[in-house]
Structure 1
């Protein structure tokens, strides 16, 4: 439980400071220790506010207008444990700026313009020498080829520091002062201009380091020595994602960890096309020699995504001495296919030994487009399909086969009995790859991603048996054509499947050209809590939704709604009262007119969690304003609505009066009217009787004359 207070500054610190919006104060009472958070982010501050409670422990000053931190700015707040000054315009920090913060253990000054060479001094850092986390990354704005001497003496003050994040210059000199950081576990370089990574680059850092992150070194081609990581024999996490150093070099660096155990090796996106050369080509075939060190490492998470891999030699990419160590394997964004014969055999061998594998990502693989004239598949009739079966390990929980363009051969990914597969992504795939399930296999899939197409999914009868799905993502799949017309071949399967999804909690059908939904579509979804229908063509909120009493989030952004009708508003308020409710309706074609006055009021008065209170709406004259403006100036903008209302009321009253007068006249003259109609009716009857009598007499006379003649 937490308590929320609003703290309003009464005065400004100086004339140069503009009074900012109030800071919010939150007290966390359920934690093991007292925590009071002052959130002053995005308040336009340029100096540390001095009127906050003295006992705050966390101060968030993110995204303000700080350029300088003056001496003794935090003296009042001696209990502070965490200060965030990120995303400001900081250029200078005075030596006694942090005076009094002996309890501070976390300081974040990332995303500023602090000059690493001149700003930091031992005197500045001494008051906060107990820091365990320091983040000053993304501060270097310009770089040159001069030697960059880091203020190691200043950083040497932090003998307790565990996490250090800073920038890396093209030619850094990291002095002996960094040897004092013996408790350092994580060294992070997120903005990197490094040119050469040598064996002595990090020699002054502790050998107890467990995590090294050297990411986004994009400005130069990074030349790497094989022994560059030798100063860190105990490292467990290596992350070089997005650094242009070439996969060949990165794999050679692993010589220091041959036969060792690591948690993470992230080598994603190392091959940069703009640094393509004969020695380090962007188009890469993985060789056995390149894998000589990696194959010996026992690693849990291995990411080789986006490295331009188009092929791999025998006993190379999938050859590991201890494949049972691997839990998460990523090949995303490369361009190699598992072809018939050796490569599929190697993959099956690897899967058979990978008894702990939980994640396999083989997505965004552009191998071959479908060209009908090539008639590739006509040449496959002599090759038995059983040779194309890839047997997934039973331990696998997450399989990602999205965005595949592999129209070459058919591959069957077989999910066997006893499988633990809970996450399956086959979105946007245009290939001959098929996920099949062994007979009588259990369907444990809880998350299913079918983005991009509906027919491929509904063709497979196995999908219809995924009755344990809790999250279904079916975006940009033209689902309108699966639902209408009602007699099409997919509609019956679609409805039948939805009737079985009794455990579904999260459903996303965004970007599907939907303007209407089948009746009772959500009737059986008693657990549905999140429904996303954004980027469709709904002109009103589908009535099927308001029969769902469990929805907590409804997303109807970027549709064609002109209003939210009364029934939906009542339902939304009820959901908000029962269990909380979020409604996202930004980007619709709302109209500010007389018929929508109740909707405009509801937007400002409801307790429903909305994504905005100032949606754009259009007046009758075409002017675009916000709903908030319409609410605040309602009497001026919609004064004509009252005139029309009174005109309607008066017309109704006048018509009612006229009808009433006519009815009263009729009632008062009722006997006269009755006698009048009685006389009219009697005359008509008498006249008809005379005619009937004359006719009968004529017939009688005629009959008598006939008989007389006959006797004669």
Structure 2
């Protein structure tokens, strides 16, 4: 299958006798002839081409496949070259299309959706289908209305177009979907485009995704917030040569869709200027903003019922996130790795007071060299604490007040020994917990 790009392979197995089979995984040769032996599979719904070496797909390649297929997956087809625009017309009931990892290129994949216009789709997975080796198309993808004209008509529940080297959006083509209310999961990560030219319009469209549960817009080097340039005239570096603050649109509030459960904006370098993020009667449970480097860190406002259980602020200075969250009694897990927490923990005893029911706290890699009596405040519900990769020289005695702690990670500090009081606390039968100490 790997070597034969000229030899046609006839699939002549007696598939037509498998009248009750609902899911089929089959290898795909470089030049397959999918014979009429497939047509009798009246119950087939899911078709996976697992080891995929197909070279090209014509409008006739899938002619003999049963019309009742709802799920077609062709992942990691590394020898791919072309797919004709009407090739998917043989799947009138298709609701899942997965080309992830195949060498198709996003532009060609979007054009292949021509027969699926106005369909209702559970999933379209175009993750990482654009490669620099596909010389027929530009590696830098610029989304236009022409490219998006077919997908825009489809009601899609899960859309993944991540890791496709999308560098720019033209004509607001990213938000021309006719059915934003259909989206449940949207993954746009690891591309290179920004929304500076349509920030207000994009955020308004975002709120129209009324059933959205997961939104992932991460790993985006959109724009460094404080670039430094060499000054050849005066022989020293200087920050931003011209003041661009006027050009950046000021957005007062970002309203979150009520059904949103998970929002992931991690590893983003941007110049965003949003004052507030507002959730009203929102089902939001997981927020991952780790390594979100922006000029302004917004204030989060939760009105009425809210259920935030996990929050990751790693990689953001604790000075920037301080007082940016309201009292959240539902928060169970907080991660604040590499947040320069050492600059606050010495003077502020209310750092974690806004999350009094917390059970899992990670403050590793923060250059913490000691903890005062009230450095962590009252965290009586804490079960797991990670203080690893700091510079503690002595065991912090305030930790012995955490009566419910079950897991404590002190690895990669500067602890040489444990005093008698600490050892008794660990071994005490009254605690009746399994404390794990890594020193």
TM-score greater than 0.5 by the shorter chain: yes
- TM-superposed CA distance for 1:200, in Å, is 3.2
Conserved? CA contact 1:498–1:521, under 8 Å: no
Counterparts of 2:369 and 2:49, CA distance in 1? 49
Q: Residue by residue, what CA displacement relative to the aligned partner does 1:311-336 show, whole Å, maximum 9, x if unpaired?
A: 22224210111111112222211112
Partner of 1:681: none
Counterparts of 1:231 and 1:163, CA distance in 2? 18
Conserved? CA contact 2:327–2:355, under 8 Å: no
Partner of 1:528: 382
Conserved? CA contact 1:143–1:169, under 8 Å: no
Counterparts of 2:400 and 2:28, CA distance in 1? 55
Instruction: Please report the RMSD computed on the Cα atoms of aligned residues, expressed in angstroms.
Output: 3.3
The yes-or-no answer on 1:329 pairing with 2:189 is no
Counterparts of 2:27 and 2:186, CA distance in 1? 29
**Mapping for residues 489-528 of structure 1, pairs under 5 Å:** 491-492=347-348, 495-520=349-374, 524-528=378-382
Pick 1 or 2: higher relative contact order, CA cutoff 8 A, min separation 6.
2
Counterparts of 1:258 and 1:384, CA distance in 2? 35
Partner of 1:86: none
Conserved? CA contact 2:267–2:290, under 8 Å: yes
- TM-superposed CA distance for 1:189, in Å, is 3.2
Counterparts of 2:208 and 2:255, CA distance in 1? 11
Conserved? CA contact 1:285–1:310, under 8 Å: yes
Conserved? CA contact 2:187–2:217, under 8 Å: yes
- TM-superposed CA distance for 1:262, in Å, is 0.9
| Of 215, 224, 232, the match for 1:360 | 215
**Mapping for residues 112-127 of structure 1, pairs under 5 Å:** none
Counterparts of 1:554 and 1:174, CA distance in 2? 58
- TM-superposed CA distance for 1:562, in Å, is 6.4
Q: 1:152 to 1:348 in 2, by over 3 A?
A: same
SS class of match (1:147): coil
The yes-or-no answer on 1:550 pairing with 2:408 is no
| Of 223, 226, 229, the match for 2:88 | 229
Partner of 1:378: 243
The yes-or-no answer on 1:295 pairing with 2:152 is yes
Counterparts of 1:538 and 1:191, CA distance in 2? 52
Instruction: Say which structure is richer in helix.
Output: 1
- TM-superposed CA distance for 1:560, in Å, is 5.8
Instruction: Say which structure is richer in strand.
Output: 2
- TM-superposed CA distance for 1:575, in Å, is 4.2
The yes-or-no answer on 1:161 pairing with 2:161 is no
The yes-or-no answer on 1:198 pairing with 2:55 is no
- TM-superposed CA distance for 1:467, in Å, is 4.3
**Mapping for residues 461-480 of structure 1, pairs under 5 Å:** 461-463=323-325, 465-480=327-342
Conserved? CA contact 1:399–1:425, under 8 Å: yes
Name stretches of at least 5 consecutive residues in structure 1 with no aligned partner.
Answer: 1-139, 589-712
Q: 1:384 to 1:267 in 2, by over 3 A?
A: closer
SS class of match (1:497): coil
Q: Aligned residues, how many?
A: 426
Partner of 1:344: 199
Q: Residue by residue, what CA displacement relative to the aligned partner does 1:133-160 show, whole Å, maximum 9, x if unpaired?
A: xxxxxxx8x5442536366426566443
Counterparts of 2:94 and 2:183, CA distance in 1? 17
**Mapping for residues 94-493 of structure 1, pairs under 5 Å:** 143-147=3-7, 149=9, 152-153=12-13, 158-218=18-78, 220-275=79-134, 277=135, 279-340=136-197, 343-369=198-224, 370-372=226-228, 373=238, 375=240, 378-381=243-246, 385-386=250-251, 390-407=254-271, 410-412=273-275, 414-437=277-300, 444-459=307-322, 461-463=323-325, 465-483=327-345, 486=346, 491-492=347-348
So what's the TM-score if we normalise by structure 1? Answer: 0.54
SS class of match (1:462): coil
SS class of match (1:289): helix
Name stretches of at least 5 consecutive residues in structure 2 with no aligned partner.
Answer: 229-237
Between Structure 1 and Structure 2, whose CA radius of gyration is higher? 1
SS class of match (2:277): strand
Q: 1:204 to 1:417 in 2, by over 3 A?
A: same
- TM-superposed CA distance for 1:209, in Å, is 1.9
